[in-house]
Structures are given as structure tokens and as C-alpha cells.
Amino acid sequence: YLIKGLDFFYVYFLLKYSAFFFPNLLILVFHRNLGKSGLRVSCLGLGELVLKAGGIFISMAENLMTIAYENGVNLFDTAEVYASGRAEITLGNIIKKKGWRRSSFVITTKIYWGGQAETERGLSRKHIIEGLRGSLSRLQLDYVDIVFANRNDVNSPMEEIVRAMTFVINQGMAMYWGTSRWSAMEIMEAYSVARQFNLIPPVCEQAEYHYFQRDKVEVQLPELYHKIGVGAMTWSPLACGLITGKYSDGVPECSRAAMKGYQWLKERVNSEEGRRQLAKIKELHLLADRLGCTAAQLAIAWCLRSEGVSSVLLGVSNTDQLLENLGILSQMTPQTITEIDALLGNKPHSKKESRA
């Protein structure tokens, strides 16, 4: 069920009494502005969805996108590097097959790792323009809504990056541009360059955010949101599956940590810090049970409560996971937030709080 165009009091009434009047109501996806831009994006988006597009998950990807789209999700994120471009091809094929109105959804892609040649990676003007043209060709689209610089490039001057992003927007290849894995200082530099030369500044930063990765999204990005309007689009709300509890009894053979290329995740799970996190996750599961939701729903609701977070990108591989993550989330009251903070013991403190 998707709520659109309803007045505030009706929405409030439905939320307050939905459990009583609609016991089978499962899905409720809201939309927010992306930072302080006018672009409306669903508070939940699909990311990593077609990262697995090179294998048996292609048919599943279409099912997941269909379920998400029909239940209010309008944001789909990919990158030129995912599955060496096959992810964009799969995403484009699905969109073309479904025949959805282009104006009804938001597509984002990321530019940095495009190929093996020296000129096929980084954020030079050449690669930003050629890389985005390649992405559009694979996606079978005339434009993407947001093109992200997928980490900063120390070999490319900031003015060149901002000018290239402004160019692709002015050429109609993208509507907005954003950053991914950039520091607050780098984002501020890009904004300053844009203002100095009358160019287009970034509107969003993609950042990792979950119970155990908090400082950037909770301390640095809210300041940028208020000062220059940059919003946050966060990823990995379940910490690569750690928060679901799947690693509580070791690393299952079918899990991501057991896959080739994810040795770092397996080492993280088996580390001393990983064991401490797993112990806290068990307590968080008890809290979720008490609140009447799943641990995944609680974790996603916790991410959405943070100031400046426009959307949380979900990484799912089957419909059960997607429906669970899209399900109505528990009410994130101040009391619940305080309880989670006390349990985690890692709440970051801003400079203002320190001075106070």
C-alpha cells in the first residue's frame, strides 16, 4: 500500500491506528527531498541489486525491482564497476521490459572504475564524460538522475571534476551530481569551487551507515546539510548482513563472507571486535522482539531517524528479504534511540556537544 497525496491528518490517523484497522498492512514507503534539492526520492532505495547480475540472479532482479517499484520505491542505484558493467546492462533491460515512465523513477550510477586502461578510471574530465556515456549506453537511457563521483581522485584537480560534472548536467546526461566516500572537507571544497566559478555543486553524499559506523553520517554530514544542503544517501544498513545475526554461530557456506573476494568480511566477523559486535547484535535482536519488529527493520528505521539522511539503500537477494525490509518499521521513539545508544556505547559527539 502506497500513501501519496494524502493530507497530514489522514496520514497521521492511518499510521496511529493502522495495526488495528489494517492488520495485514505491510508496506509503507515514504518519500523525502534529496538533501535540500527538489528531487523527491523514496526513503528506501535498491542498491547492489544487480551486482549479482552475472549469475543466476538476473530473473530475481526483475522480481525484486517490480515489487519495490509497485510499493513506492523509486530509487535504483548502480555503478559502472558493478559486475564490470553487466549490472547496468541488466538494470537497463529490466526498465525497458517493464515500460515504466522514465519520469516516475530515479536512476543513479557511479563513475570511477571504468576499465583497465589508465584513462578508463578516475575523475578526469575525459573519464567522467566518457564513463557516463558508457553507462547511459548500457542502461539504454538518455540520462541518469544522479551521477556520483565514486570516491575522490587525488590526481584530478577539484575544479576539473566540478566543471566536468557541470558539463554532463548541462548536456542533459544527468540531472544532479553527488559524491561517494568523500570526506566532508572534500565535499566542502567542491562546493566552494562551484560557487567561485558559477558551477553546479554536489547535492548528495553516499556513505556507509549502520550501528557500528556512525561518525560521518551523524557528526559531519548534518553540518554540511545545514550549511550547503548536501543530503546523505546511506548504504549497508545491515553491515553486510552482520546485523541480521546470520554470523552469530560462524560463517555459513552460502553467506557473503564465504564468497570469493570477501575474505575481509570473514576476517572482520572472526575478529575480536567482530565478536563484541555480535554480542551486541544479540541484545538488539531481543530489543526488536520486544518492539514487535525484526532486527533488520529496527536497523533500517534507526538509520532513517538520522538528520539529513534522504534515503537508505538496501542490498537484497530475494523477495523475502525485500518484503521484510520494506515492512512497516517500528516507531523510533526517543526512548528507543536512547536504549540503542546505551547498548551500542558508541554514540559520536559533535564539537558543539564537546564544547557544551
The set of catalytic residues is 82
Question: Is the C-alpha dihedral spanning 97, 100, 101, 105 positive or negative?
Answer: negative
- Whole-angstrom CA distances from 23 to 16, 29, 48, 67, 273 are 12, 17, 32, 20, 40
Cell 549479482 belongs to 52
Q: Which amino acid is at 289?
A: D
| Helix extents (H) in the chain | 8-21, 58-70, 86-98, 125-139, 158-170, 184-196, 215, 221-228, 263-270, 272-291, 295-304, 319-326, 334-344, 351-355
Nearest to 124 by CA among 164, 71, 68: 164
Cα–Cα distance for residue pair 37/246, rounded to 1 Å: 38
CB 241 within 8 A of CB 247: yes
Written as one letter, the residue type at 95 is: I
What type of residue sits at position 67?
A: I
Tell me how many degrees the CA angle 208-114-82 measures, rounded to the nearest 5: 50
> For cell 501519496, what's the residue?
4
CA 223, CA 297: separation in Å to the nearest integer? 27
Number of residues in the chain: 356
> Quick one: 209 exposed, middle or buried, by C-beta within 10 A (0-12, 13-18, 19+)?
buried
Gyration radius (Cα) of the chain, Å: 20
